[in-house]
Amino acid sequence: MEMLLSILIGLLFAAALYQMLSGHFLRVLIGLILISNAANLAVFISGGLHSNQPALIPETTQVLTGEVANALPQALVLTAIVIGFGLFAFALFLGIRAYRDLGTLNADKQDSLTKESAQ
Amino acid sequence: MSVLTWLIALPFATALVSFFLRRHPSVVWVGTACLAVQTILAVSLLQSVLVDGPTAAALGSWRPPFGITIAADALSALMVLVTAIMGLATHIYSVRDISQESKHKGFHFFYHCLIGGITGAFLTADLFNLYVWFEVMLIASFALLVLHGKKDSLKAALSYVTLNLFSTIVFLTGVGLLYGLTGTLNFADLYEKTRAVEDAETLHLVVILLSVAFAIKAALFPLYFWLPTSYHTPYPAVSAIFAAMLTKVGVYSLFRLFGFIVPADPMYQDVLLFWAWTTMGFGVIGAAAQSDVRKILSFHIISQIGYMILGLALYTPLAITGAIFYLVHHIIVKGNLFLIGGVIEQRLGSGQLKKIGGLYQAAPLLSVLFLIPAFSLAGFPPLSGFWAKYLLIQASVEIEAWTSVLVALAVGLLTIYSMTKIWAGAFWKAHPDQVVFDTRAPEASIVPIAALSVLTVLIGLFPNVLLDMAMQASDTLLNPASYMQAILEAQ
């Protein structure tokens, strides 16, 4: 399972970088979604994967016993997802605003627009 | 609550109050008062750290190394103090600089969040927590960057947002891999575990990811392109606090990473050295090609960052001391120069050197106030920049790193060239259109500039005070036993 997820993370990173190299902001945004998911998955599997072994302490004892899933990476990922969501919402709105004001999201065309207006 | 917790809590409390008061004129006074209190708290923290050694506090009821710990050694305390001073100075400047409309949109809320995020990043002793503070800083800086909604700042924001988001995602990936490798994120715990790691390749990979993430933040060559395209677009007050603090958080993180978290390795030093030379060189050459005040200053941030990285790369006690001295000096001087650049643009309506001039005759006081940080940046004795450069060059001579000496001196010379260009363009030559402009800048703009210039002169005349602090900071960084003990025993 770890192996499969690792390959998936690699694919996500590759796809995201490909998208982000584009001059069009919309594709950069798609790349950002993909790459943040890839990073979140990387953090998630860093603690090792255990299925059906929640980190719960039985009522009778005080400490965890046996192999259990590591709860810390899960907490980290939740934090990262929330932060990533907020930042992405901002980036998306920035894109909308830039499209309205600049008329295009294509970086190359923006440059020629600003040059025209400067002349 | 300890003073550490207060230092982080106060800016966010101020931010919250500022949000509700955003349409009320008193928001300015509340902010100024809170930042003054923040400065006093930071002084008391620095005082106690210098006398009693590093201090730490555990947040929540989780004991270290499991919970989030915040800690301050001399380096952190020094940085927190400079943040508070710059925060206060820029805040006073912002009174006249920021439009009423932007204040109503919540300028003060984002500004205090930014100060809180920066302070948090300097104080945390947990790698994931550092990531969170980076994001707090980022989102606040995004909002501040586009606050006045002009077209060029929107365009700048597209690249600024993309590259900075990318850098934090790279950072997060590094954090994940490091956790997988060591099972901890606490600085003190990491110090021990990274030295026991057997899988050197994966550790190198983590170091590459983290250092690239921090290098984007710190604007090192070749990852600096977002900086000169964006720093000249927002309000001058905003670009002053960005220029003074944001890149320095990246530099500070690199210091923590290479000076503390991972074991020293000659390979890392070589890469850092290469980074330092190229960053210094490309930054200063880029500045020489520019003709807009704030663009010249933006490129100078990059070349000056190179000096700090040079100190880290040489990795001797004297070099690290010099780099920390440089860090503090540069924050004060560069923030001040951006504020002066703001006054120039405000008085003359433009920052383009071709279109402006005549300030020396019209505003002699401002001219003197410009010369102090400009000469300091170029390294004229007896100003603060002279000592900063002197320490680094002395450190390079000591270990016979002649290339570094050469690069440092050459970049210093080229810095003088750019500063002369601003002097000649904006101050010395007559205004091209012979426009008569209002010569008196408002007090709210001049007071912080004058205060920061005086501070620069004071550091220059009494370098020993800051030098002693920098020496203690570099000593704790290289011999971190007391810092680690404080973190691990935090309550």
Q: Please report the pLDDT score of residue A116 as a whole number.
A: 52
What residue type is B78 in one-letter code?
Answer: L
Interchain proximity B179–A43, CB inside 8 Å: yes
C-alpha A70/C-alpha B440 separation (Å) is 63
Q: Does domain A2-53+64-118 have CATH number 1.10.287.3510?
A: yes
Return the residue of B nearest to A25 by Cα: B158
End-to-end CA distance of chain B: 10
* Minimum distance, in Å, between the CA of residue B453 and any CA atom of chain A: 35
* Minimum distance, in Å, between the CA of residue B203 and any CA atom of chain A: 14
Q: Please report the pLDDT score of residue A119 as a whole number.
A: 45
Substitution target in B110, B137, B161, B167 with the highest count of A β-carbons within 10 Å is: B161
Residues whose CB is less than 8 angstroms from the CB of residue B487 and which lie 6 or more positions away in sequence, other chains included:
B54, B56, B64, B65, B69, B71, B125, B186, B187, B188
End-to-end CA distance of chain A: 59
Q: Say how many domains are in chain B.
A: 1
What is the pTM for the complete model shown? 0.93
Q: What's the pLDDT band for A113 if we cut at 50, 70, 90?
A: low
Q: What is the mean pLDDT of each successive set of 10 residues along chain B, which is 491 residues long?
A: 88 93 88 94 94 88 82 93 94 86 88 95 93 93 88 86 92 92 88 87 92 92 86 89 92 91 87 92 89 88 91 91 93 92 83 81 84 88 88 90 89 88 84 66 82 92 91 90 88 77
Chain B neighbours among A 89-118 (CB < 8 Å)? 90-91, 94-95, 97-98, 101-102, 107, 110, 114
Q: What's the pLDDT band for A114 if we cut at 50, 70, 90?
A: low
Residue whose pair of structure tokens reads 């210091």 in the numeric block: B255
* Minimum distance, in Å, between the CA of residue A58 and any CA atom of chain B: 21
- Choose among B476, B451, B467, B449: nearest CA to B388: B467
Substitution target in A33, A35, A49, A85 with the highest count of B β-carbons within 10 Å is: A35
Question: What ipTM was assigned to the predicted interfaces of this complex?
Answer: 0.90
Interchain proximity A40–B172, CB inside 8 Å: yes
Interchain proximity B157–A94, CB inside 8 Å: yes
Interchain proximity A90–B166, CB inside 8 Å: no
Q: CA dist B367 to A18, A107, B339, B341, B422, Å?
A: 50, 39, 13, 11, 11
Residue range B76-108, pLDDT digits in tens = 999 999 999 999 999 999 888 888 888 888 899
Mean pLDDT within A81-98: 90
Domain that holds residue B437: 3-488
Out of B146, B155, B175, closest to residue A43 by CB: B175
- Choose among B355, B351, B354, B357: nearest CA to B339: B351
Return the residue of B nearest to A47 by Cα: B180
At how many degrees (to 10) do helices B200-218 and B247-256 cross?
160
* Minimum distance, in Å, between the CA of residue B248 and any CA atom of chain A: 22
C-alpha B166/C-alpha B160 separation (Å) is 10
